[in-house]
Amino acid sequence: MNETNSKKITAKANTNIALIKYWGKKDESLFIPTNDSLSLTLDEFYTQTTVQFSSQLKQDKIIFDGKELSSKDNQYESITNFLNLIRKKANCNSKAIVDTKNTVPNSAGFASSASGFAALAAASSKAIGLNLSNTELSKLARRGSGSATRSIFGGFVQWHAGNSDQTSYAENISNNTNNIRIISIINSKSPKKISSRQGMRLSKTSPIFPMWIKVAKKNLQTIKKAIQSDNINLIGAIAEYNALCMHATTVTAQKPFTYFNKSTIDTINYIIHLRNNFNLHCYFTIDAGPNVKLICSKNELELIMDLLTKKFDLNNLVVAHSGSGIKYL
Ligand code: 2P0
């Protein structure tokens, strides 16, 4: 980048829902996870980010959902730290204007950091003149937030844990996504008290953490076969079991904690009730927050939505399909 101002680049990234969870790091500074994870990129929740570098700026200017962040905000710091990585890679000192907009409810277990850092990685690297492959973008997005590693790609995505910066990245493993639907059942939009980062640290103190890694490895093999054979029921059953195993490490940590609230438990029970008493093939998964995501096939979506609206406000139910990977606008 030789001119005063770089090109202005806008990128859009979708968020993703982990069916095999990323939970635990073996290297905190490089975001190397303890286990491989697998997700479905969603079409509903996304981040759109515009970046331009300018040698005339004294510091980064970051506009987050229409509001300029103060340099004292945590979000400002994490975005600037990420931009520093890009500047180092491109050997350029210019500061940037970043304008980012989310349709993801912030910090409520919807991994807004996944789409956020994926969009930032794509827009900022292109704006500064780096021409990175999606694999390289995936490695870069990982340095902002682990789950962002997967949001570079669409469809079903596996993040290979690896053991170094170069070996820890994601790839699309299947676009066999026509029949799967995810219904987000929103019971809270308020920020969580324990960040994922902190939660992962605490969970590592659980005596069952080593078991979690073994189970996740086994679940990954089974779910990949289920994806190949388009077996939504098996995908749902494995994802549900995997989520419960992840959350088991929170309640058994040396300082126990949980992301569940009362509505989380009610919703889990309702989904089990639909399964047992209506013979519907619906399953749940839960991230580091209280909201529940229901997994089902498109054939049963209408029936399931009819029953869900008897219990939940329609405004709190969001149906998502599989979404695409990074796009430049
Ligand atoms: C996941 N989660 O696989 C798991 C499941 C939450 C539960 O990735 O510390 O915001 O920035 O790497 O990516 C959320 O954690 O954590 C997450 P950092 P991140 O989607």
**197 close to ligand 1 (CB < 6 Angstrom):** yes
The model's pLDDT over 224-251, given as tens digits with 9 standing for 90+, comes to: 999 999 999 999 999 999 999 999 999 9
Region of residue 122 (phi > 0: left; psi between -120 and 50: alpha; otherwise: beta): alpha
Q: Could you tell me whether strands 32-33 and 61-64 are parallel, antiparallel, or unpaired per DSSP bridges?
A: unpaired
Amino acid sitting at position 109 = G
With vertex at residue 13, the alpha carbon angle to CA 10 and CA 18, rounded to the nearest 5 degrees, is: 165
What distance in angstroms lies between residue 175's CA and the mean position of ligand 1's atoms?
23
Cα end-to-end span (Å), the chain: 21
Ligand 1 atom 8 nearest Cα: 147
What average pLDDT does the segment 119-135 reach? 97
- Give the architecture-level CATH label for domain 9-176: 2-Layer Sandwich (3.30)
pTM of the model: 0.96
Mean pLDDT (the chain) is 95
Give the CA diameter of the chain: 66
Q: Is the separation of the CB atoms in 167 and 160 below 8 Å?
A: yes
Instruction: Report phi then psi at 282, rounded to 5.
Output: -125, 140
The model's pLDDT over 205-225, given as tens digits with 9 standing for 90+, comes to: 999 999 999 999 999 999 999
**196 close to ligand 1 (CB < 6 Angstrom):** yes
Using alpha carbons only, how large is the chain's radius of gyration in Å? 20
Q: Is the separation of the CB atoms in 320 and 182 below 8 Å?
A: yes
What distance in angstroms lies between residue 6's CA and the mean position of ligand 1's atoms?
32
From 16, 20, 22, the mutation candidate for ligand 1 (largest count of ligand atoms within 8 A of CB) is 22
What distance in angstroms lies between residue 87's CA and the mean position of ligand 1's atoms?
25
Class of domain 180-320: alpha beta
**288 close to ligand 1 (CB < 6 Angstrom):** yes
Residue whose tokens read 């073996």:
26
Helix (H) or strand (E) holding 196: helix 196-203
| Per-residue confidence (pLDDT) for residue 105, from 0 to 100 | 59
What distance in angstroms lies between residue 237's CA and the mean position of ligand 1's atoms?
21
Query: What is the distance between the alpha carbons of residues 212 and 130, in angstroms, rounded to a whole number?
Result: 38
% of residues, the chain, pLDDT over 70: 97
> Across the strands, what pairs with 63?
68, 99
| Per-residue confidence (pLDDT) for residue 110, from 0 to 100 | 61
Q: Is the separation of the CB atoms in 13 and 122 below 8 Å?
A: yes
Helix (H) or strand (E) holding 188: none
Q: Could you tell me whether strands 156-160 and 37-54 are parallel, antiparallel, or unpaired per DSSP bridges?
A: antiparallel
23, pLDDT greater than 60: yes
Ligand 1 atom 4 nearest Cα: 22
Tokens of 182: 């995810």
The residue ranges of every structural domain in the chain are 9-176, 180-320
**Which atom of ligand 1 is closest in space to residue 148's alpha carbon?**
13
What average pLDDT does the segment 160-165 reach? 98
pLDDT band at 187 (very low <50, low <70, confident <90, very high): confident
% of residues, the chain, pLDDT over 90: 91
**242 close to ligand 1 (CB < 6 Angstrom):** no
Q: Is the separation of the CB atoms in 10 and 329 below 8 Å?
A: yes
The model's pLDDT over 256-314, given as tens digits with 9 standing for 90+, comes to: 999 999 999 999 999 999 999 999 999 999 999 999 999 999 999 999 999 999 999 99
What distance in angstroms lies between residue 288's CA and the mean position of ligand 1's atoms?
7
What distance in angstroms lies between residue 23's CA and the mean position of ligand 1's atoms?
7
Q: Say how many residues make up the chain.
A: 329
Tokens of 287: 């991230």
**Which atom of ligand 1 is closest in space to residue 21's alpha carbon?**
3
Tokens of 157: 């995505």
**Which atom of ligand 1 is closest in space to residue 144's alpha carbon?**
11
* DSSP string of 273-297, one letter each residue: HHHHHS----EEEE-SSS-EEEEEE
Ligand 1 atom 12 nearest Cα: 146
117, pLDDT greater than 70: yes
From 35, 145, 244, 246, the mutation candidate for ligand 1 (largest count of ligand atoms within 8 A of CB) is 145
| Per-residue confidence (pLDDT) for residue 302, from 0 to 100 | 98
| Per-residue confidence (pLDDT) for residue 184, from 0 to 100 | 93
Three-state DSSP state, 149: helix
* CA-wise closest residue to 110 among 235, 293, 265: 293
From 15, 31, 107, 147, the mutation candidate for ligand 1 (largest count of ligand atoms within 8 A of CB) is 147
**111 close to ligand 1 (CB < 6 Angstrom):** yes
Non-local (6+) Cβ contacts of 236 within 8 A are 281, 282, 283, 295, 296
